[in-house]
Structure 1
C-alpha cells in the first residue's frame, strides 16, 4: 500500500513537471513567434527538442522521487502524458493520433523511461529506511 502511494505520487510529480515545462516553453515560443520574424516552420526543431527534454526531465523527476523501478516510473509518467494528450486531442478535436504522432509518443515514453532510470540511479536508489 505504501509503495503504491509512493509510486503514484512520483508519477504524478513527474507528469506535472512535464506539463509545467510544456506551458513555460509554449509561452516562450509563442512570444518569440509574436514579437520576432520567426515562423512556426523555423522553430519546429526546437519545439521537438523541447518536448523530448520535457519528457526526459519529467521521467527523471519521477524516478528521483520514487527511488525504485525507474523504468516503470518513467514509462508510467510518459504513458500518463500520452493518454492525457490523446484524450485532449480526441475529445477536444475529435481526431485520433496519426501514425507520426504514435511514433513520437512511443519515443516520448522511451525517453521518459530513460529519464526515470537515470533519476533513480542518481538519487541513490532505494533508501535503506524502507
Structure 2
C-alpha cells in the first residue's frame, strides 16, 4: 500500500494525501467486492481496522511520493 501510494503521489505531483488515499480506498473497495460477492460476508471490525490502516499507510506513501519527486525536479 505504501508503494502504491508513493507511485500515485509521484505521478500526481500534488495533493499526495488525496491520491494515496484514493489508492487505498480503491484497494479496500476491490477487496470488499471480492469478499462480499465471492464469500457473501462483510468486513468484520478487525478487517475494517486493517483497511483503515491500509488507507492511512497509502496516504503516507502519497505524501512522501509528492515530496520526493518535487525535490528532484
Q: Tell me which interval the TM-score lies in, with the shorter structure as reference length.
A: over 0.9
Q: How does 1:30-69 map to 2 (within 5 A)?
A: 55-69=1-15
Aligned residues: 72
Structure 2 counterpart of 1:81, from 17, 23, 27: 27
What displacement does 1:113 show?
0.1
Q: Which residue of 2 aligns with 1:109?
A: 55
Residue 43 of structure 2 aligns to a residue whose secondary structure is coil
Query: Normalization by structure 2: what TM-score?
Result: 0.95
Instruction: Measure, in 1, the Cα distance between the counterparts of 2:55 and 2:63.
Output: 12
Structure 1 CA distance, aligned partners of 2:37 and 2:66?
35
In the TM superposition, structure 1's runs of 4+ consecutive aligned residues that sit over 4 Å from their partners are none
Q: For 1:90 and 1:73, how far apart are their aligned partners in 2?
A: 25
- Distance in 1 (CA, whole Å) between partners of 2:49 and 2:21 is 15
Partner of 1:45: none
TM-score (structure 1 length as normaliser):
0.54
Q: Which ranges of structure 1 fall in alignment gaps of 5 or more residues?
A: 1-54
Q: C-alpha distance in 2, partners of 1:123/1:88?
A: 34
> Which one of the candidate residues 33, 37, 47 is aligned to 1:91?
37
- Give the gaps of 5 or more residues in structure 2: none
Aligned residue for 2:65? 119
> What is the alpha-carbon distance in structure 2 between the residues aligned to residue 73 and residue 93 of structure 1?
29
